[in-house]
Amino acid sequence: MAAPVAIRRVPVSWGFCLILCLVSPLLSSAADYDALKSDAETYFRDRVTPFIKSYCLPCHRSERPTRAGVNFSPALKTPGHAAFTEQWKKADARVKVHDMPPKGARQPDDADRLMFGDWLAKLKYLSEKDPGPFVIRRLTKTEYGNTLRDLFGVDPSIADGLPDEVSGQGYLNSLSSLQLEQYLTIADKVLRQIATPEGGRRTEIQKRLFGQSAAPRTHPLEAAREVARSLARKAYRRPPTEAELDVLAEAFDLGRRNNLAYQQALHLMLKAVLVSPQFLFITPASREAEAKSSTGIVPLDDYQLASRLSYLLWATMPDDELMALADSGRLHEPAVLKAQAKRLLDDRRSRALFDGFGAQWLGVGGLKRQVFDPAMFPQMTTGMRQAMYDEVRLYFESIVRDNENVIRFVDGDYTYLNGALAPLYGLEKTVKGPEMRKVRLSDGNRGGVLAMPGILAATSFPNRTSPVKRGVWVLEQVLGEHVPAAPPDVPALDKQDKAAVANLTVRQRTELHRTNPVCANCHQVLDPIGFGLEKFDAIGRWRDRDNNGQPIDAAGELPGGKRFSGPEDLKAIIAGRTGDVARNLVEKLLAYALGRKLEGYDEIVVDELMGEIAGDGYRMRALINGVITSYPFTHRRIEEQVNRRAEEVQ
Tens digits of residue pLDDT in 372-382: 999 999 999 99
Instruction: Report domain extents, the chain.
Output: 12-126, 137-282, 356-575
The more confidently predicted of residues 26 and 148 is: 148
Q: How many helices (H) and strands (E) does the chain have?
A: 31, 8
- Residue 386 has a pLDDT of 98
Give SS3 for 476.
helix
pLDDT digits (tens, 9 = 90+) for 128-167: 889 998 888 899 999 999 999 999 999 999 999 998 765 5
Q: Lowest mean pLDDT: which of 44-58, 440-454, 632-646?
A: 632-646
Among 375, 376, 369, smallest CA distance to 538 is for: 376
Is 26 a residue whose pLDDT tops 60? no
Strands 137-138 and 281-282: antiparallel
- Residue 10 has a pLDDT of 33
In our burial notation (b when 16+ CB lie closer than 10 A, e otherwise), range 200-221 reads eeeeebbebbbbeeeeeeeebe
- Residue 17 has a pLDDT of 37
CA torsion 356→359→362→367, rounded to 10°? -150
Q: Residue 44, Cα to own-chain centre: how many angstroms?
A: 31
15: pLDDT confidence band, cut at 50, 70 and 90? very low
Strands 297-299 and 635-637: antiparallel
Spell out the alpha helix ranges (H) of 347-489. Answer: 351-353, 359-362, 382-401, 422-425, 453-458, 467-473
- Residue 493 has a pLDDT of 52
Q: Region 416-432: what's the mean pLDDT?
A: 97
Q: Nearest 5°: phi and psi at 141?
A: -55, -45
Please say whether the beta carbons of 235 and 303 come within 8 A: no
* Other CB atoms within 10 A of residue 281 CB: 14
Q: What percent of the chain has pLDDT over 90?
A: 61
pLDDT digits (tens, 9 = 90+) for 291-336: 666 678 999 999 999 999 999 999 999 999 999 999 999 999 999 9
Is 559 a residue whose pLDDT tops 80? no
DSSP state of 561: S
The more confidently predicted of residues 274 and 491 is: 274
Among 607, 647, 516, smallest CA distance to 103 is for: 516
The more confidently predicted of residues 283 and 485 is: 283
Give the separation between CA 52 and CA 44, rounded to whole angstroms.
10
- Residue 221 has a pLDDT of 95
CA diameter of the chain: 89
Arithmetic mean of pLDDT over the chain: 86
- Residue 291 has a pLDDT of 60
pLDDT digits (tens, 9 = 90+) for 112-123: 888 988 888 888
pLDDT digits (tens, 9 = 90+) for 237-270: 999 999 999 999 999 999 999 999 999 999 999 9
Please say whether the beta carbons of 194 and 152 come within 8 A: yes
25: pLDDT confidence band, cut at 50, 70 and 90? very low
- Residue 290 has a pLDDT of 66
The more confidently predicted of residues 650 and 534 is: 534
Is 503 a residue whose pLDDT tops 80? no
- Residue 63 has a pLDDT of 76
pTM of the entire predicted model: 0.85
- Residue 547 has a pLDDT of 83
- Residue 18 has a pLDDT of 33
- Residue 100 has a pLDDT of 85
Under the phi-then-psi rule, with left for phi > 0, alpha for psi from -120 to 50, and beta for the rest, what region is 252? alpha
Is 647 a residue whose pLDDT tops 60? no
50: pLDDT confidence band, cut at 50, 70 and 90? very high
Is 511 a residue whose pLDDT tops 70? no
Give the separation between CA 94 and CA 107, rounded to whole angstroms.
13
- Residue 634 has a pLDDT of 97
- Residue 163 has a pLDDT of 83
User: What stretch of H or E contains 297?
Assistant: strand 297-299
- Residue 525 has a pLDDT of 65
For 526-573, strand residue ranges (E) read 556-557, 563-564
Give the separation between CA 140 and CA 316, rounded to whole angstroms.
10
Among 594, 633, 636, smallest CA distance to 338 is for: 633
Give the separation between CA 391 and CA 417, rounded to whole angstroms.
6
